[in-house]
A and B are shown apart, each in its own frame.
Chain A
Amino acid sequence: MSGTSREEVTLPDVPALPGLYRRALALAARRTMRRAPVALAVPAVQHRVDGVRVDLLALTRFQQLLGSAARDAVPSAYVHTLAFPVAMSVLVRPDFPLPLLGMVHLSNEVRQARRIDASEALDVVAWAEHLRPHAAGTQVDVVLEVRVGADLVWTGRSVYLARGVRLDTAGTGGRRDEERPAFTAPTPTGLWRLGADTGRRYAAVSGDWNPIHLSPLTAKALGMKTAIAHGMYLAARMVDQAVPAPSGPLHWRIDFATPVLLPGSVTTSFARAGDTGHRTDVVGWSAKRRHPHFTGWVRAE
């Protein structure tokens, strides 16, 4: 995919997320004042950072927060955490058409080709593509590729939704929201109790200090009811619990339905899929409200 005609911008280092969030805020303020119309395309660029190193102490803290074994292998979701600021640097470009703040994370799909060791230097490339209408606004894919030398070891595709942002195209606003089938909870196998500080603790190990995760006040400032759990926190726990000792290729996907409000409880179901035995299907839901938070699967190949 990276072979398409995209201009490549090489950054000297992985940018720090707080700075990126500040830039997003400034951009949002400027856009509000100018009321500029939404551009019809994502910029044809990809950002690149070479030689990203894993900090062992930070890795240990991340692994321990999730309750996973602190191995020297990098958890699949942690690769996303490492590479994510590179993707964000694309999203805060002045020519990127959607406002970063308030964008909703819809799904993540990751293909990992092999075990990645914490000692390996990672080359990260990120770009956005497939800007398209959604019933509730506009969605876009953010793609991350991670290489070790010439080997593509990890590819992630995240889908984000900018609510209420309309592409100025002829025709309808994309597919209508089909009537969602009533949610039937599977047999539970576990319960995640998430304290009020879940977002702050995950921010501390992931560097993702998005204010919607930190406290009720900062979340309300951005239009949320209260603080919500990081999607990648849920994804990381899902992947780790489904395959506690990954040794080879890993393929996983998570689709987010409704945010997990903090503090809160997520009832979970982990079920080995009958056909192959290598796939684990996962559902996380609210037992109280009887609605799903996320569905996903993890396949150890």
Chain B
Amino acid sequence: MADQAGASNAPIPARTAVVIGGNRIPFARSGGAYAYSSNKDMLIAALDGLVARFGLQGERIGEVAAGAVLKHSRDFNLTREVVLGSALSPETPAYDLQQACATGLETVVGLSNKIKLGQIESGIAGGVDSASDAPIAVSEGLRRVLLDLSRARTTQQKIKALATLRPKDLSPNAPTTGEPRTGLSMGEHQALTTAAWEITREAQDELAYRSHSNLAAAYDRGFFSDLMTPYRGLTKDANLRADTSLEKLATLKPVFGKGLDAPATMTAGNSTPLTDGAAVVLLGSEEYARSNNLPMLATIVDAEAAAVDFVTGEEGLLMAPVHAMPRLLQRNGLTFEDFDFFEIHEAFAGTVLSSLAAWEDADYCKRVLGLDGALGSIDRAKLNVNGSSLAAGHPFAATGGRIVASLAKTLSEKGGRGLISVCAAGGQGVVAILEAR
């Protein structure tokens, strides 16, 4: 009873949803410029810039969807609180979404579907994350005592609840990047995949180098001038090293996969650092854009999600987009040849290179993806042409908004078709197609 929609359904004819524009704040390294900024602060900053750029003050938007991966319990209604703190009409509804690193892209998919169905005319999608201002939880022991205490009616019950408190209960729990079911960090998971696909250190450093040089070049030609609002003194992504070189990258020591038999190849240079930041995208129907005299950068064509069984090692943790891709392409009757730009989120250089290797491997594509042969190769000159997460940084839920806005702008300048691939914790991934107008 597998869901076959991925491969065989024809896309449902519906209205068209377009990307009107995007805005983000520069991404900061964890503990850097936004060390004391909260998720709410940063998402409001990104939204303020979007509102200003497109004159949305006082506007009632159809719906705002956003999320954060590391979220405080007090931020249960984060996006709605952000809307109330912004210049948008307080009558703008909002909801939170969480799909780990695919959060931002999934908000775009969800809202564009509502636009296509005619449920809303306009939407703002996005995400935010702070690794600096991360929630810290009290220990399980203290939490139990506090909850029991709140339920206690009599003094005797209260004393009884307090008596179970132990000194060790007073030390807090900080969030980790470990997968709950395996205990391995994301980096250690990727190290297994990187080793399985025999991705070399040189290839990973080369990809990291290109990410930095492409992002630096994009800044130099002013590409981000209408995609970004400075915040807290930052005007560029703090992680960008315009002057880095393959030689410098080669000096870094491996940080993941050191316990494996294969040589450790993943360094701080070819892995994304912990980052703070926010990104939002303005979406609308064609009618909405025309009647409000707004630009239409690109059409949101279609999207597909996938998940893989990484718990038993059947597949790599970050390889779900590899599975989503053929289903999305088949449904739309397209191949890699039909695309002019590829945005593959660089969680780690090894993630991108393992995905490319998998799609080029005829045996794997037949055996695992059920295809007739290799899915195909991607021309490296079309890959992440304005840099990606290795250079810009990766505030988890903000990455989708960054990619959609950058790709939509590239398509509006150069024309053609673009493909997005984002991997996520939990063995999940989302891929999407954008098309120039």
Within A185-214, the residues touching B (CB, 8 Å) are: 187-193, 197
The chain A residue sitting closest to B312, CB to CB, is A270
Q: Is the CB of A269 within 8 A of B313?
A: yes
Specify which of A192, A269, A271 is in contact with B183 (CB 8 Å cutoff). A192
CA distance A67 to B180 in the complex (A): 8
Specify which of B180, B184, B259, B312 is in contact with A271 (CB 8 Å cutoff). B312
CA distance A242 to B313 in the complex (A): 12
Q: Is the CB of A189 within 8 A of B311?
A: yes
Within A145-195, the residues touching B (CB, 8 Å) are: 187-193
List 23 A-B pairs, Cβ < 8 Å. Answer: A67-B181, A188-B192, A188-B259, A188-B260, A189-B184, A189-B192, A189-B311, A190-B179, A190-B181, A190-B182, A190-B183, A190-B311, A191-B182, A191-B183, A242-B312, A267-B259, A268-B182, A270-B311, A270-B312, A270-B313, A271-B313, A272-B314, A287-B259
**Min CB distance, A52 to chain B, in Å?**
27
Tell me, yes or no, whether B63 is within 8 Å of chain A by CB.
no
**Min CB distance, A181 to chain B, in Å?**
18
Q: Is the CB of B259 within 8 A of A189?
A: no
Specify which of A67, A192, A197, A272 is in contact with B312 (CB 8 Å cutoff). A272
Tell me, yes or no, whether A280 is within 8 Å of chain B by CB.
yes
State the 7 A-B residue pairs at the shortest beta-carbon distance, nearest first. Answer: A190-B182, A189-B313, A191-B183, A270-B312, A287-B259, A272-B312, A191-B184
Tell me, yes or no, whether A241 is within 8 Å of chain B by CB.
yes
Q: Is the CB of B313 within 8 A of A241?
A: no
**Min CB distance, B172 to chain A, in Å?**
15
Interface membership of chain A positions 258-280, coded 1 if the CB is closer than 8 angstroms to chain B and 0 otherwise: 00000000011111100000001
Residues of A within 8 A of B310 (CB): 189
Interface membership of chain B positions 162-201, coded 1 if the CB is closer than 8 angstroms to chain A and 0 otherwise: 0000001000000000011111100010001000100000
CA distance A197 to B182 in the complex (A): 20
Q: Is the CB of B311 within 8 A of A187?
A: no
- Report the count of interface residues on A (CB-CB < 8 A): 19
Interface residues in chain B, defined as those with a beta carbon under 8 Å from any beta carbon in chain A: 168, 179-184, 188, 192, 196, 259-260, 310-314
Specify which of A67, A187, A270, A272 is in contact with B192 (CB 8 Å cutoff). A187
Instruction: For the A-B complex with A189-B313, A191-B183 known, give 19 more contacts whose Cβ atoms are closer than 8 Å.
Output: A67-B180, A67-B181, A188-B259, A188-B313, A189-B310, A189-B312, A190-B179, A190-B182, A190-B183, A191-B184, A191-B188, A192-B183, A241-B181, A241-B311, A242-B312, A270-B313, A272-B312, A280-B312, A287-B259
Contacts A269-B313, A270-B312, A270-B313 given: A190-B184 contact, CB under 8 Å? Answer: yes
**Min CB distance, B345 to chain A, in Å?**
23
CA distance A179 to B20 in the complex (A): 71
The chain A residue sitting closest to B183, CB to CB, is A191
Residues of A within 8 A of B196 (CB): 187
**Min CB distance, A246 to chain B, in Å?**
15
**Min CB distance, A301 to chain B, in Å?**
18
Interface membership of chain A positions 11-27, coded 1 if the CB is closer than 8 angstroms to chain B and 0 otherwise: 00000000000000000
Residues of A within 8 A of B260 (CB): 188
**Min CB distance, A287 to chain B, in Å?**
5
Q: Is the CB of B182 within 8 A of A189?
A: yes
Q: Is chain A's interface secondary structure helix, strand, loop, or mixed overall?
A: strand
Most B Cβ at <10 Å: residue of A67, A188, A189, A197: A189
The chain B residue sitting closest to A192, CB to CB, is B183
CA distance A287 to B181 in the complex (A): 19
Residues of A within 8 A of B312 (CB): 189, 242, 270-272, 280
Interface residues in chain A, defined as those with a beta carbon under 8 Å from any beta carbon in chain B: 67, 187-193, 197, 241-242, 267-272, 280, 287
**Min CB distance, B187 to chain A, in Å?**
12
Residues of B within 8 A of A267 (CB): 259
Q: Is the CB of A193 within 8 A of B183?
A: yes
**Min CB distance, A81 to chain B, in Å?**
20
CA distance A268 to B310 in the complex (A): 13
CA distance A193 to B185 in the complex (A): 12
CA distance A241 to B181 in the complex (A): 8
Residues of A within 8 A of B179 (CB): 190
The chain B residue sitting closest to A67, CB to CB, is B180
Residues of A within 8 A of B311 (CB): 189-190, 241, 270
The chain A residue sitting closest to B258, CB to CB, is A287
The chain B residue sitting closest to A266, CB to CB, is B183
CA distance A192 to B196 in the complex (A): 22
Residues of B within 8 A of A193 (CB): 183
The chain A residue sitting closest to B144, CB to CB, is A61
**Min CB distance, A67 to chain B, in Å?**
7
**Min CB distance, B256 to chain A, in Å?**
13
CA distance A114 to B311 in the complex (A): 25
Most B Cβ at <10 Å: residue of A67, A187, A192, A197: A187
**Min CB distance, B257 to chain A, in Å?**
10
The chain B residue sitting closest to A267, CB to CB, is B259
Residues of A within 8 A of B181 (CB): 67, 190, 241
Most B Cβ at <10 Å: residue of A188, A190, A268, A269: A190
CA distance A280 to B184 in the complex (A): 19
**Min CB distance, B397 to chain A, in Å?**
25
**Min CB distance, A34 to chain B, in Å?**
42
CA distance A189 to B419 in the complex (A): 30
CA distance A191 to B256 in the complex (A): 14
Residues of B within 8 A of A242 (CB): 312
Q: Is the CB of B313 within 8 A of A187?
A: yes
CA distance A268 to B311 in the complex (A): 10
The chain B residue sitting closest to A281, CB to CB, is B312
CA distance A190 to B184 in the complex (A): 5
The chain B residue sitting closest to A193, CB to CB, is B183
**Min CB distance, B176 to chain A, in Å?**
10
CA distance A90 to B377 in the complex (A): 67
CA distance A267 to B259 in the complex (A): 10
The chain A residue sitting closest to B310, CB to CB, is A189
Most B Cβ at <10 Å: residue of A67, A188, A193: A188
Residues of A within 8 A of B182 (CB): 189-191, 268
Residues of B within 8 A of A268 (CB): 182
**Min CB distance, B350 to chain A, in Å?**
16
**Min CB distance, A299 to chain B, in Å?**
14
**Min CB distance, B304 to chain A, in Å?**
25
Residues of B within 8 A of A189 (CB): 182, 184, 192, 310-313
**Min CB distance, B243 to chain A, in Å?**
37
